[in-house]
Amino acid sequence: MFSRVLKPVTVVAAQNGAKNFSTTSQRNFKVVVAGASGGIGQPLALLLKQNPLVTQLALYDIAPVTPGVAVDLSHMDTPAKVTGHKGPEELSAAIKGADVVVIPAGVPRKPGMTRDDLFNTNASIVRDLAKSVAQNAPKAILAIITNPVNSMVPIASEILTKVIINLFTPKIGALSSSCGIPARCTKYQLLSQSQPAVKLTDQGKIKALTERIQEAGTEVVKAKAGGGSATLSMAYAGARLTNSVLRGLKGESNVVECAYVKSNVSEAAYFANPVVLGKNGVEKNLGYGKLNAFEQELLKAAIPELLKNIKTGEDFAKK
C-alpha cells in the first residue's frame, strides 16, 4: 500500500490483541511515544523499553513530568536509550529521525462520553503531531491510538498527504485479535473467522457476544467509575502493534495484523482487516474474507456510520 523506497509516512491505530514480542536479531530503530505521560503512554513506554528491537525511545508530552518519566525508565537494564521531551518547543527534537511514532495523546473518555465528544480536542492534537512527523521524520510509520480513531486516521492521512506530496501513501491500521472496524458503533468481530476456530450456532449467544465485544471499551470506562478509560490493555495493544511493525521493517516474513487502513476493500475509504507487514510497511491487504449472513448485516449497518466518521476527519483536515 506504500513503498518504503519512497520513504513514506505510515499511519496505524491500536486495539486489543495478544502476541509475544520478537526476540530475533535486532536493527536500530527509534520509536517515539507522543502522549507519553498519560494513562496509556506510560505503560506503553514501559513495554517498549523492554522491546529488543527498540534502540532509541523518545517520550513526548506537554506535561512537565515527561523528562522524569524518561529518567525513571532509564533505570531499567534494557538497551534502549530513553529521552524525554516536553512542550511544543521540544516536539521536533523528539520526532526527528523516528522510524515509528505511536500516538496515545489526547483526552480519554469518561462515563457518558461518546467518541464524538472527544473529537474537537483530539483532532487538533493528531493534526499537529502529523505535521511534525511529516516535517521531521518523513520515513516514519505513524501509529494512532487516539479516539475517535475512525476520524483520527483520515485526519493524519490528509495532513500528511498535503505535506509530503507524491511521497506519502497512507497506511492506517487498528490492531485487533479478530477483525472489525474500530469504534464502538462500527466495530464487530468476525467470529466465523476466529483463530482458533469457535463453533457458535446459537444466534442469541452470537448476538450477545458481538454486543459485548462492541461495548468492551465502555465496560472499562464504567468499571473505573470516572477514573479513566481502557489504558493498560490499550498500552499492550500499542506495544504489540509497534513490535509487529518493527518485525516487518527488519525483514521478518509473514507478519500479519488487523489494521484500519486506507483501502478499496469496501465502499469506505478506510477499513479494518488483516494486512501483511514487511519492509514496505503494509505489503499486502488480505481483505476481510467471506462473511456469514449475520456478519453481512452488521457490515451493512456499520458502513453509513463509518462513512460519516471518515468524512468528519477529512473535512477537519481540509479546513
pLDDT value, residue 198: 75
Angstrom distance (rounded) from CA 201 to CA 41: 40
Q: Which residues of the chain are modeled with pLDDT < 70?
A: 1-26, 109-115, 164-185, 188
All residues at 6 or more sequence positions from 217 whose CB lies less than 8 Å from its CB, including other chains: 109, 184, 229, 230
Q: How many helices (H) and strands (E) does the chain have?
A: 9, 10
Under 8 Å between Cβ of 169 and 1: yes
Model pLDDT, residue 95 = 97
4-19 tens-digit pLDDT: 333 334 555 554 444 4
Burial 17-44 (b: 16+ CB within 10 A, else e): beeebbeeeeeebbbbbbbbbbbbbbbb
Q: Which helix (H) or strand (E) holds 198?
A: none
pLDDT value of residue 21: 52
Buried/exposed code over 230-239 (b: 16+ C-beta within 10 A; e: otherwise): bbebbbbbbb
What is the pTM for the complete model shown?
A: 0.84
pLDDT score, position 93 = 97
- What pLDDT sits at residue 36? 97
State how far the Cα of 80 lies from the Cα of 301, in Å rounded to an integer: 45
Determine the distance from the C-alpha atom of residue 209 to the mean position of all C-alpha atoms in its chain, rounded to a whole number: 24
Pull the grid cell for residue 313: 476527519
pLDDT digit string (tens) for 227-266? 878 899 999 999 999 999 999 999 999 999 888 888 899 9
- What integer pLDDT is reported at residue 174 of this predicted model? 34
Alpha helix ranges (H) inside the chain? 41-49, 66-74, 91-95, 119-136, 149-163, 203-214, 216-223, 232-249, 293-318
What CATH number is given for 7-179+230-288+311-318 in this structure?
Answer: 3.40.50.720
